[in-house]
Structure 1
Amino acid sequence: MAALSVFDLLVRHPFLSDFPVAWLRRLAVHGRPVLRHTAYRLFREDGPAGHFWLVRSGVVALDFHVPGRGDVVIERVGAGGVVGWSWLLPPYRWTLGAAVAEDCHAIEFDAAQVRLLINADPGLGRELTERFLTVMGGRLQAARHRLIELYAYPDHPAGAPGPGGAGR
């Protein structure tokens, strides 16, 4: 069985599957399939944001550092999800951290190249930016809920689910 091309993987990923074929072909040039194993750190908060990932399988845990608690997981992103949006906005630094929670197959993109593509094609740029804005809104809500959970239940260890919640 032949390996699927990046273009084929994009066609199958829910984040971009309805993109016009021409846009998918242009994006595919800047992506590559990767396998990252459990505990691999994709990035740390405030590090340079040079990539983003479309998750095909596995789980990535998004976290942020809370003084006195360490890295607190605020969300878990699984198959069909997107990891990384800080590459879109200057100063291109991560606002969260991310580590692989379960072996992860993903499509990894070179953010600088995708930014050039966005600048060259305003239609593609607008559509991609809108999709990432939706992701950003969801991440902000998840962070808000996690902080409320930590504040309301301070005796729970960092990263553990709060009452009524499964591991996020």
Structure 2
Amino acid sequence: MSTLSVFDLLAMHPLVADLPAGWLHRLAPHARPVHLVTGHRLFHEDGPADRFWLVHSGAVALDLHVPGRGDVVIDRLGAGAMVGWSWLLAPHRWRFGAVVAEDVRALELDAARVRAVLAADIDLGRQLDARFLAVAADRLQAARHRLVELYACPGGA
């Protein structure tokens, strides 16, 4: 991954790969390639949501602190995922925690700068907001399925 430019890495990520090159060039200055090792905590629940990641390889576990049980993993995100969307909405605080479950190679993006780019280009903002909303909707649907499996009655009653 290190021999590729940030632009190339953006162009390879499923979330933004089909965007026009001009838009990717606007996002590229606000991203940097990162290699994160297993066990590295990306963020804690209620911490400042000041960046997000486009994962190229590896896995990230999303967790939620449960009193008396500690941090409970609620989802696992892999290659092609976007980690973090709390940066999109004020007060820009993480709603979950996240820890690297398998070494990750990703692009880390500066949230404040990306928000400024999106505010300055309404069409790009609209396009990315729709994609971010689709990510959130997919994760909500996956959470619903996990809840149904968790609370399904034995024997299919």
Alpha-carbon offset, residue 146 of structure 1: 4.5
Alpha-carbon offset, residue 140 of structure 1: 2.6
Structure 1 runs of 4+ aligned residues shifted over 6 Å read: none
Match of 1:120 in 2: 120
Q: Deviations over 1:91-133 (max 9, x none)?
A: 0001111000000000000000000001100000011111111
Alpha-carbon offset, residue 145 of structure 1: 4.4
The one-letter code sitting in structure 1 at the alignment partner of 2:110 is: D
Alpha-carbon offset, residue 73 of structure 1: 1.1
Aligned length: 153
TM-score, structure 1 normalization: 0.84
Structure 2: where are the runs of 5+ without partners? Answer: none
Alpha-carbon offset, residue 74 of structure 1: 1.3
The one-letter code sitting in structure 1 at the alignment partner of 2:40 is: Y
User: Which residues in structure 2 correspond to 1:95-114 (within 5 Å)?
Assistant: 95-114=95-114
The one-letter code sitting in structure 2 at the alignment partner of 1:67 is: P
More helix by share: 2
TM-score, structure 2 normalization: 0.90
Match of 1:34 in 2: 34
Higher mean C-alpha displacement, 61-70 vs 80-89: 61-70
Residue 49 of structure 1 contacts residue 93 of structure 1 at CA under 8 Å; is this kept in 2? yes
The one-letter code sitting in structure 2 at the alignment partner of 1:127 is: Q
Residue 74 of structure 1 contacts residue 146 of structure 1 at CA under 8 Å; is this kept in 2? no
CA distance in 2, matches of 1:142, 1:67: 24
Give the SS at the match of 2:138. helix
Residue 2 of structure 2 contacts residue 33 of structure 2 at CA under 8 Å; is this kept in 1? no
Structure 1: where are the runs of 5+ without partners? Answer: 153-162, 164-168
User: Which residues in structure 2 correspond to 1:7-156 (within 5 Å)?
Assistant: 7-146=7-146
Identity fraction in percent: 66
The one-letter code sitting in structure 1 at the alignment partner of 2:100 is: V
CA distance in 2, matches of 1:16, 1:95: 24
Residue 51 of structure 2 contacts residue 110 of structure 2 at CA under 8 Å; is this kept in 1? yes
CA distance in 1, matches of 2:44, 2:150: 21
1:20 and 1:135, CA in 2 relative to 1: closer, same or farther beyond 3 A? Answer: same
1:137 and 1:2, CA in 2 relative to 1: closer, same or farther beyond 3 A? Answer: closer
